[in-house]
Structure 1
């Protein structure tokens, strides 16, 4: 069930979006689509735009959003690798609302994982592109030991803020997704990991450190140990990189 504030926003805004002829479908993503929202949930809207008009709509996005709702501030989503995203605060009442503008061909690819609000049936009639895998264990293995080495260099230099950021990245990009997949859930960083995989979430506490060199060192060691324990079978292990990175980590700690 969608909380009242978010539902009132949708009731008010979706008809205005539907009146824009260049938007052919609207769907919900995030917790509102996955059935576990609460009063603090963001509203994640995914909009379909004809492929040939996508560039023009991308240029007009902030003006369009301001015409649909009371826009306090908005910015593009390059910080999360998604330039088609506009992150906003709207209100009053204040809400965090994400608007992602996709070409129809790409919307058709993902609409099965969304909750359609308007027009999706028409867009579904388009032939979808070939789906890419949502989780790639080899992608993780090919990068993990470089990231461990990077964290160890920050630890050795005494750059503890950088080391702590590396630990957070390892949880978000590697350990959280692995724990989610182990529990049969979609990998989404560490989102809702406490309820998705409670036992693994307890184990993940060992990778959290305060601003303390010895704590950060133990957290890096724990990250390596958890990855080795949770690494899926079937990946091509980068044994040489693993040996070099872990040896360097032990040297940095010493």
Structure 2
């Protein structure tokens, strides 16, 4: 993987220390690094698979464990994003945002995107991904259409009342819930069409030869 030096140095330092704890089945990367579109400002998103029998004990020790793997500046649990298994941290210096998500090994295959496995103690993580392929999520345009204009009217009332911070919050919601997913869907659709066209061209060239 082509990742920034700071991020690579962190992984080079922390991963060997994680591997020394036999309670972990493996570690994987998600987020922008796994997707191949990270930059120097990206977070490091880690999923740490814990043997089921040791999970409760590891959950109680999470901050101490992270502090033994790297220089922990600050960290807190992820209830604010609906993910209490998550520890959001700053490590360093130099400062780097790293998210540590602790999951049971038996739950590792529950995912919204395929991770990049960094190490897999007994092949358990690879096997879990193979046995449970990633299901393609349905993008429901009608779900957006039902809600969009009601949301826009709501935002307009906030603007009309002069509640500018409420309006800014609404625009952020609209970006995350509607505009961002629509843009991603359009890009994915365009990529599929391009691949289809490329296959057709290759087939035509092959037939001519």
Aligned match of 1:68: 69
Alpha carbons 2:158, 2:167 under 8 Å: kept? yes
- Give the alignment partner of residue 162 of structure 1, picking from 153, 160, 166: 166
- Please report the TM-score for the alignment, with normalisation by the length of structure 1: 0.64
Taking the TM superposition and a 5 Å limit, the aligned residue runs for 1:35-74 are 35-74=36-75
1:211 is matched with: none
SS where residue 48 of structure 1 aligns?
strand
Q: Which has the higher strand share?
A: 2
Partner of 2:125: 123
TM-score (norm 2): 0.77
Relative to 1, partners in 2 of residues 1:111 and 1:161: Cα closer, same or farther, differing over 3 Å?
closer
| Contact 1:106–1:129, Cα closer than 8 Å, also in 2 | no
Residue 113 of structure 2 contacts residue 134 of structure 2 at CA under 8 Å; is this kept in 1? no
Per-residue CA shift, 1:44-78, capped at 9, x if unaligned?
11111233443332232111111111100011222
Q: Which runs of 4+ in 1 moved over 6 A?
A: none
Give matches, 1:74-113, under 5 Å: 74-110=75-111, 113=114
Judging changes above 3 Å, is the alpha-carbon distance between structure 1 residues 175 and 61 closer, same or farther for their aligned structure 2 residues? same
Aligned to 1:151: 155
Structure 2 residue runs of 5 or longer lacking an equivalent are 192-209
Is the CA contact (8 Å cut-off) linking 1:42 and 1:97 kept in structure 2?
A: yes
Residue in structure 1 matched with residue 176 of structure 2 by the alignment: 172
| Contiguous gaps of at least 5 residues in structure 1 | 186-195, 197-254
CA contact (8 A) 1:106 1:128 kept: no
Secondary structure class of the residue paired with 1:85? strand
Q: What secondary structure is seen at the aligned counterpart in 1 of 2:73?
A: strand
CA contact 1:108–1:124 (8 Å) conserved in 2: no
- Contact 1:109–1:131 (CA under 8 A) maintained in structure 2: no
- Is residue 105–residue 128 contact of structure 1 (8 Å, CA) maintained in 2? no
Aligned length in residues: 186
Secondary structure at the counterpart of residue 2 of structure 1: coil
Can you list the C-alpha shifts for 1:176-223, whole angstroms capped at 9, x where unaligned? 1111111108xxxxxxxxxx9xxxxxxxxxxxxxxxxxxxxxxxxxxx
SS, match of residue 109 in structure 1 = coil
Distance in structure 2 (CA, Å) of the matches to 1:105 and 1:141: 37
Aligned counterparts of 1:36 and 1:50: Cα–Cα separation in 2 = 31
